[in-house]
Chain A
Amino acid sequence: MKLKTSLLLTGFVLLLSAPLLWGRLDPDYSLGTVALGLDLARGLEFFRNLLPAIALGLLFAGLLRFRHRLPRLPRPARLDQLKERSWAIPALIALLWLPGLFLGSKGLSQATFAAQYVLLAVGLNITVGMAGILVLGYSAYFAIGAYVFAVLQQWIWLPWWMALPVGFAASALMGWLVALPSLRLRGDYLAIVTLGFAEALREILRNGGAITGGDKGIVIAVPHRINGILGLTSQQVAWMAAAAVAVLGVAAIDRIYHSRLGRAWVAIREDEVAAGAMGIPTVRMKILAFSLSAGFAGLSGVLYAGFTVFVDPSACTFEESVLVLAMVILGGLGSIPGSIVGAILLFLIPTWLRDWFPQMQDYRLLIFGMILVAVMLTRPQGLLGSNRHKAELEGAPE
């Protein structure tokens, strides 16, 4: 976009936001009218609070622009070789034990949440990135995993590690059920159905009263939580559990990506008709992608419930779904390392910002939305997405 147009547009937006930012409503309650006053302080404060975010954003954009001048990261080829070794994964899991020792309680907590989000992002990437199915209601499957665990553990003995496969199965089943009637819909309709399902689920959870605890939520009983064992604190165990599940999950998904299944998904994403003509059972593949993706969300849900010992309908919000979607988009569609990076960035950076600049607490979502729009406008393939994806996303030039 030309500079002059950008400036004019910015000016127009500033003009439009002026009444909201600089105007103050002075209601007169006896008369019932309202007058408009000027409140310069509030407007200034708004921009002042945004300053750290803007600075950070510019820094990031600059880094991205000039990334070729930065020292190089290890070449992927060596990483691929490493992955093939059979001891790679157990070694990685063993290494993950280390941070559990010296990170403080808060750091561990953050790391555990980050690992859960990594699992979610990589899971969502299966449908959105690989198979090209846009899902807007991903948090529903996360909530199902968490709630199935929370509800069942009230009646039967179900410690968190036993609940993992249960959560996976329940969410995968639900994903399968939702996918069956919906996958023949157009892309955007499918996305909306997933959203509708998530919102409907949230309402059901809120109304569920006796079974789901309604808005009050359910507290996980002590024996079923992720508790400390063998001298480790519960937080250390939670971290290791989340990290281990994340590593295993990512490895599994990576294995799938490089199999016939993964290639089938890519083929479907690029041209469904052609893929069908080549003999790929497109509908079955898509349902599988959906189901699998939902299952991983369920895993993350169980971990979340075991760790925070509390589930309530806010696990199932649109805000959560969008956050995970943004992680996948930011990291790069179809790219597993991208989703990992995206998840870590979009979780840790706002958390750290909140610690360093507490006044920005309220601005978190605003900045997040702006990032989403900015990424779509400038670099839709995300940080680590491939150029092939970029071409797909941008479509044919008008």
Chain B
Amino acid sequence: MLQVLINGLARGSVYALVALGYTMVYGILGMINFAHGEVFMLGMFGAVFGIGLCTTLFGSHLVLNLVLGLVLAVAFASGWGWANERIAYRKLRGANLLAPLSSAIGLSIVLQNFVMLAVTKGKVDFPHYYSDTLTKTFWTIGSARVTLLQIVMFASTGILCLGLWWLIQKTRMGTALRATAQDRTAAALMGIPVDKTISRTFVLGSALAAVAGMMVGMYQGVLAFDSGYAVGLKAFTAAVLGGIGNIPGAVLGGFVIGLAEDLTSSTLGSDWKQTTGFVILILVLVLRPRGILGERVSDKV
């Protein structure tokens, strides 16, 4: 049982990080960034490519390459996140729901297939040399095991969330973000650079997703071009579950979904693991669309 808890929390931290991206974008733009799951996937690939680049340039230094690889992954994913907004969403800002959503879906398809065609249709292994210390170091608690990686996943989510909270509450950029989310026109009138703020939101979400991506890459050991879709959908469910636009909600939602999945797997068998997320999604939307902690979206005209 404890093992279920541990596994669930580990997955949950990943969902939480990705969910933050969804929730922030929805809070500020009122649209679902369908392509966010692909940005997460790009973060995974960015990490492996980044580590590869470092190894080519510097040789095999474990910590250095890992850290640099993370930086490169974040930069890579953020770049894509920024480009996504700029190209596919900016023009459609005021438009009827159908337009940005279709554009987002199209973008998601483009990104997924691009990686499939550009890199490989099969799988890519995460270089074990760098992940081995994390996956092979573990502690035993009763009959359960916690690996160092799981602790790192949980801890980094915590640290990043705190960092995000500080950013949003205590910095100018955070205030700009909150203001734009609340009322875009008023914020513009107050002199807030709306376009830049929105871009920064995307970058922020993508950076978090990239960190999650690298960790999942190490956690699973293999990546594929379709690794983003499932995580994306579940993370979105998490965001909705916690209350869309609500940042603590997204984190809470992430952990709930992670735990629910592992609980279902443990009780009903893993055949039903994938269904858990969708069932929760439907239940939340039908019974309590506001989410657990309530949503925070600007009043849409």
Interface residues of A (CB under 8 A from B): 1, 9, 12-13, 15-17, 19-21, 23, 25-27, 31-37, 42-43, 46, 128, 134, 136, 181-182, 185-189, 191-193, 196-197, 199-200, 203-204, 207, 322, 325-326, 329, 333, 362-363, 365-366, 368-373, 375-377, 380, 392-398
Contacts and interface: CB of A to CB of B under 8 A. Distances in A.
Contact of A369 (B80, B92, B95, B113): B113
B275 A12 contact: no
B293 to A, nearest CB: 17
B196 interface: no
Contact of A200 (B103, B271, B282): B282
B84 to A, nearest CB: 10
Contact of B114 (A32, A134, A199, A366): A366
A45 to B, nearest CB: 9
B102 A396 contact: no
Interface size range on B against A: 35 or more
Given A16-B76, A25-B48, A197-B282, A393 B117 contact: no
B31 interface: yes
B174 interface: no
Interface stretch (B125-133, B164-172, B251-259): B125-133
A26 B53 CA distance: 10
Given A16-B79, A196-B285, A376-B106, A128 B132 contact: no
A136 B139 CA distance: 45
A325 B102 contact: yes
Contacts of A196: 237, 278, 281-282, 285
Interface of B: 31-32, 45-46, 48-49, 51-53, 55-56, 60, 76, 79-80, 83, 86-88, 91-103, 105-110, 112-119, 121, 124-125, 127-130, 132, 233, 236-237, 240, 271-272, 274-275, 278-279, 281-282, 285-286, 289
Which of A186, A370, A375, A376: most chain B Cβ within 10 A? A376
A394 B125 CA distance: 44
Contact of B94 (A42, A368, A396): A396
Nearest to B272: A207
Which of A375, A380, A396: most chain B Cβ within 10 A? A380
Which of A37, A182, A200, A363: most chain B Cβ within 10 A? A200
18 contacts: A23-B53, A26-B52, A32-B127, A32-B128, A32-B129, A35-B52, A188-B32, A188-B101, A192-B240, A192-B285, A200-B275, A204-B275, A363-B117, A370-B106, A373-B107, A376-B99, A377-B103, A393-B95
